[in-house]
């Protein structure tokens, strides 16, 4: 069967909280509704532990009975044309440290991961590197995934927004330089799920990061910018999932403006599914439904004239400003009065009901 085309803009949701506190499964089948144009779902979070054969999906082995319904539903999504990826890593550190060792150590820890991808028929992996890793180490992992799973396997990364605009390590959770990675292995990376939240940025940064047109370096302002098709705007779907939640009225105008300004707008991803607004825990699929409407160019509710102009200004590319977006500029846009974006403290990893990315 030929691969499903990769549409733009993408609509992606992360799915890490799989059960309610009482243990009830949180279904993703509503995401297959006709009025929802979900393109990708990323199931999280796969962790490589000290014992190479003790992989976990959050806190339990991937073959634990609690995940029986989850894996069955993910096959239904795939049958509907939605690509399903696994997220490796995230806030709980250790997975990438174990893959960044010598060749023998890499093989020991990589083999069970590859087996999981095969067994579950995943369409790709999202590499969420939130710990120090070397550039050679991430390249080795990407090369091996490409070799083992072929040209249609989707490889993505999930950097914080500031990691895409500066080479300063304090604004980058991953350790390696994303520009260098793109130069060396960009052909193998489908896109970047950029985290514009938790103190790392605001969606209005997108236009300063992305080229307006696909043609390379149309102007000097494009030299240090990313192809828009490779940048996905990452959002928190509920204020409880992290700071930086953008209200729907502002978000609607902003995203419509971005899609209109960039001929190959990369799309939107939401962290995470289970409590997505406006439906919340009872109807989390409504976030994807409303986002589908926005990405199709529809509107939710018109903003008052003054607010609409302000939102459109945030989305517009300012050709008179510097080509490279610096963190002090981000801070001013995000309401921090030109104070550089704070580096969040250590994340605390919770069990299935309330993990963080």
SS3 string of 213-272?
A: CCCCCCCHHHCCCECHHHEEEEEECCHHHCCCCCCHHHHHHHHHHHHHHCCCCCEEEEEC
Q: How many helices (H) and strands (E) does the chain have?
A: 10, 9
Cα–Cα dist 87/75, whole Å? 17
pLDDT at 216: 53
pLDDT tens by residue, 154-213 = 999 999 999 988 665 667 889 899 999 999 999 999 999 999 999 898 998 898 898 876
pLDDT at 303: 41
Task: Give me the mean pLDDT over the 265-279 stretch.
Answer: 96
pLDDT at 58: 96
Domains of the chain: 10-333 (3.20.20.80)
List Cβ neighbours of 67 (8 Å cut-off, separation of 6 or more): 18, 57, 60
List Cβ neighbours of 265 (8 Å cut-off, separation of 6 or more): 8, 9, 228, 229, 258, 259
pLDDT tens by residue, 246-261 = 998 899 889 988 988 8
CB 240 within 8 A of CB 275: yes
CB 165 within 8 A of CB 324: yes
Phi/psi for 147 (5° steps) reads: -65, -45
Q: Work out the angle between the directed axes of helices 305-315 and 248-261 (0-180°, nearest 10).
A: 50
Strands 191-195 and 124-128 come out as unpaired
pLDDT tens by residue, 305-357 = 444 444 445 444 333 332 223 333 332 233 323 223 333 334 333 345 444 44
pLDDT at 169: 65
Q: Give the helix ranges, DSSP H, for 121-177.
A: 135-149
For the chain, what's the residue count? Answer: 357
pLDDT at 352: 54
Other Cβ atoms closer than 10 A to 14: 28
Tokens of 90: 């995230």
CB 330 within 8 A of CB 288: no
Bigger pLDDT: 344 vs 8? 8
Helix (H, G, I), strand (E, B), or coil: what is residue 143? Answer: helix
pLDDT at 194: 96
Cα–Cα dist 273/73, whole Å? 14
Nearest in space to 266 (alpha carbons), one of 331, 339, 211, 198? 211
Cα–Cα dist 315/312, whole Å? 5
Phi/psi for 274 (5° steps) reads: -60, -30
- Strand boundaries in 90-238, DSSP class E: 124-128, 154-157, 191-195, 231-236
CB 252 within 8 A of CB 215: no
Strands 40-47 and 56-57 come out as antiparallel
Tokens of 278: 């406006």
Sign of CA dihedral 100, 103, 109, 115: positive
List Cβ neighbours of 99 (8 Å cut-off, separation of 6 or more): 48, 106, 109, 110, 133, 137, 140, 141
Nearest in space to 96 (alpha carbons), one of 136, 63, 153, 61? 136
pLDDT at 215: 61
Task: Give me the mean pLDDT over the 106-121 stretch.
Answer: 98
pLDDT band for position 6 (cuts 50, 70, 90) = low
pLDDT at 221: 52
pLDDT at 105: 97
Cα–Cα dist 4/26, whole Å? 26
Tokens of 99: 């893959």
């Amino acid at each position: 069967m030929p691969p499903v085309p990769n549409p733009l803009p993408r609509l992606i949701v992360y799915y890490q909280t799989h059960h309610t506190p009482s243990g009830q499964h949180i279904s993703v089948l509503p995401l297959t509704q006709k009025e929802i144009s979900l393109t990708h779902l990323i199931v999280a979070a796969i962790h490589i532990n000290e014992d190479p054969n003790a992989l976990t999906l959050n806190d339990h082995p991937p073959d634990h009975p609690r995940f029986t319904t989850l894996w069955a539903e993910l096959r239904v999504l795939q049958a509907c044309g939605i690509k399903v990826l696994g997220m490796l890593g995230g806030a709980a550190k250790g997975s990438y440290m174990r893959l960044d060792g010598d060749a023998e150590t890499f093989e020991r820890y990589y083999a069970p991961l590859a087996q999981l991808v095969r067994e579950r028929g995943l369409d790709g992996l999202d590499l969420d590197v939130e710990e120090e890793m070397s550039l050679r180490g991430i390249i080795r992992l990407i090369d091996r995934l490409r070799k083992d799973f072929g040209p249609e396997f989707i490889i993505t990364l999930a950097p914080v927004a500031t990691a895409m605009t500066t080479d300063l390590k304090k604004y980058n959770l991953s350790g390696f330089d994303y520009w260098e990675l793109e130069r060396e292995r960009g052909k193998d990376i489908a896109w970047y799920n950029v985290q514009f939240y938790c103190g790392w940025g605001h969606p209005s940064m997108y236009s300063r990061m992305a080229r307006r047109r696909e043609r390379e370096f149309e102007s000097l302002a494009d030299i240090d910018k990313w192809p828009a098709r490779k940048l996905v705007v990452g959002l928190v779907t509920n204020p409880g999932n992290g700071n930086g939640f953008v209200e729907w009225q502002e978000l609607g105008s902003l995203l419509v403006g971005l899609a209109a300004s960039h001929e190959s707008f990369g799309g939107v991803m939401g962290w995470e599914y289970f409590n997505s607004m406006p439906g919340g825990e009872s109807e989390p699929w409504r976030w994807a439904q409303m986002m589908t409407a926005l990405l199709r160019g529809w509107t939710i509710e018109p903003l008052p004239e003054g607010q609409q102009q302000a939102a459109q200004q945030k989305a517009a590319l300012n050709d008179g400003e510097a080509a490279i977006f610096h963190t002090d500029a981000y801070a001013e846009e995000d309401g921090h009065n030109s104070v550089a974006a704070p580096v969040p403290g250590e994340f605390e990893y919770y069990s299935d009901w309330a993990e963080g990315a």
